Amino acid sequence: MKFLSHLFSWVFLPLFMPSYGILISLFVPAYSSDVEMTSLYFAPTESKWALFTIFFLFSVVAPGVSFILLHRFKVISTIDIERQRERSLPLIIMLVYSLVLFFLLVYKAGAATLPRYFYALPLSGVAVTSIFLVVNRWIKISLHGAGAGILLGFLVIFTRAQDQFSLWWIIAALLAAGLTMAARLYLRKHTPLEVYAGFALALFLTAGIHQYLS
């Protein structure tokens, strides 16, 4: 169980969750008759990989490298930022990269070129990290729970925008959220309040921002 809990914690690392959502939205069959083209499934493969690369660089690679450097210079004691008092700077870094990603998408693609959920996802990152910066002063709110909430919230809104899309992906996201939260509790990294609050806040913030921009 301990091995599986560590495995789930790394597979469902918070930094990975937005990229999982983007991969699903780009490469899983989705059909929409909406004139706003809410699905990019039929877009050229090169364009889809280019878009995914931008998301991956700013949501995984850039913050990941930043955290490694913070650990190397002993600003944080562990890569997964276990200590509550060490979380402010990493959260600010994630907030900044989310903002950069949003403005890069607007600059490169234009504010009306891509489906709106592509712009809403980095804005969700900004909202979640901003709220967590404040809440972290009182409790060590779960970033893993937040990642699971962001993925599920994104997929729920994405699914609503499609005429045809498999609901099994929503079930898979729910399962991933359950496994992630169970793993964090089993490893005693968080209390139930910290895990469930992280998940719920991220889920409702993400769904709310996506719905507002839809």
| 105 Cβ contact list (under 8 Å, min separation 6) | 54, 114, 118, 119, 122
Summarize pLDDT for 124-148 with one digit per residue, the tens.
Answer: 999 999 999 999 999 999 999 999 9
Tokens (6 digits) for 61: 């690679």
Between 37 and 34, name the one with better pLDDT. Answer: 34
**What are the angstrom distances between the C-alpha of 146 and each of 56, 58, 180?**
18, 18, 10
Q: What are phi and psi of 200, to 5 degrees?
A: -65, -45
Band of residue 70 on the pLDDT scale cut at 50, 70, 90:
very high
Q: What is the mean pLDDT of residues 194-209?
A: 94
pLDDT surpasses 60 at 35: no
Q: What is the mean pLDDT of residues 23-42?
A: 80
Summarize pLDDT for 43-59 with one digit per residue, the tens.
Answer: 889 989 999 999 999 99
Q: What is the DSSP letter of 31?
A: B
State which amino acid sits at residue 136.
N
> Which residues face 31 on adjacent strands?
164
Between 91 and 162, name the one with better pLDDT. Answer: 91
pLDDT surpasses 70 at 199: yes
Q: What is the pLDDT of residue 118?
A: 87
Q: What are phi and psi of 31, to 5 degrees?
A: -125, 135
Between 59 and 161, name the one with better pLDDT. Answer: 59
The answer to whether residues 173 and 119 touch, using CB atoms and an 8 Å cutoff, is: no
Q: Cα(207)–Cα(210) distance, rounded to whole angstroms?
A: 5
Tokens (6 digits) for 110: 């234009």
Q: What is the pLDDT of residue 212?
A: 80
> Which residues face 164 on adjacent strands?
31
**Using H for helix, E for strand and C for coil, what is the string for 139-207?**
CCCCHHHHHHHHHHHHHHHHHHCCCECCCHHHHHHHHHHHHHHHHHHHCCCCCHHHHHHHHHHHHHHHH
Summarize pLDDT for 79-116 with one digit per residue, the tens.
Answer: 878 888 889 999 999 999 999 999 998 877 665 678 88
pLDDT surpasses 70 at 71: yes
> Nearest CA to 143 among 212, 72, 76?
76
Report DSSP letters for 99-137, one per residue: HHHHHHHHHHH-TTTS-HHHHHHHHHHHHHHHHHHHHTT
Summarize pLDDT for 172-197 with one digit per residue, the tens.
Answer: 999 999 999 999 999 988 999 999 99
Domain map of the chain by residue range? 2-213
Summarize pLDDT for 1-32 with one digit per residue, the tens.
Answer: 888 888 889 999 999 999 999 999 999 998 87
Provide the phi-psi class of 74: left if phi over 0, else alpha when psi is between -120 and 50, else beta: left
